[in-house]
Amino acid sequence: AAGVIQSPRHLIKEKRETATLKCYPIPRHDTVYWYQQGPGQDPQFLISFYEKMQSDKGSIPDRFSAQQFSDYHSELNMSSLELGDSALYFCASTIDNTEAFFGQGTRLTVV
């Protein structure tokens, strides 16, 4: 069965650069979530979309933005990267508000 696909799996950026993370939810899933997980931390909610509209917002920095496109894939755009942005970024999708399926994550390293 198709799972949530995230790309790239690994990304290395320098400080002050920009990064774009992509998420392809499971087909027909209507909600996408983004999470950030720092080293030794629990996943922290960033933002979610339901039917291409932002539905909830968590601790997402102003330097970050996200959107969901007509094909339901989502992108997390991160600008003016800081060392503290180094983390695992997970995307998840759900349908009909049931269980969430998470991708394998993108490991972002800012140097």
Partner 1 sequence: DAKTTQPNSMESNEEEPVHLPCNHSTISGTDYIHWYRQLPSQGPEYVIHGLTSNVNNRMASLAIAEDRKSSTLILHRATLRDAAVYYCILRDRNYGQNFVFGPGTRLSVLP
Binding site for partner 1 (CB under 8 A): 4, 30-31, 33, 35, 42-45, 48-50, 55-56, 58, 90, 92, 97-105
- Give CA–CA dist 21/11, Å, rounded: 9
Residues in the chain: 111
**Which of 35, 14, 34, 37 is closest to 83 using CA atoms?**
14
Which lies closer to partner 1 via its Cβ, residue 36 or residue 85?
Answer: 36
Taking the complex as a whole, how short is the minimal distance between the CB of residue 16 and partner 1, in angstroms? 28
Min separation Cβ 40 and partner 1, Å: 11
- In whole angstroms, the minimum distance from the beta carbon of 74 to partner 1 comes to 13
Cβ closer to partner 1: 55 or 79? 55
8 Å CB contact between 7 and 106: yes
Any alpha helices (H) in the chain, and if so which ranges? Answer: none
Distances (CA, A) of 105 to 16, 53, 96, 99: 22, 22, 23, 18
Min separation Cβ 73 and partner 1, Å: 17
Among residues 70 and 97, whose Cβ is nearest to partner 1?
A: 97
Nearer to partner 1, 59 or 65 (CB): 59
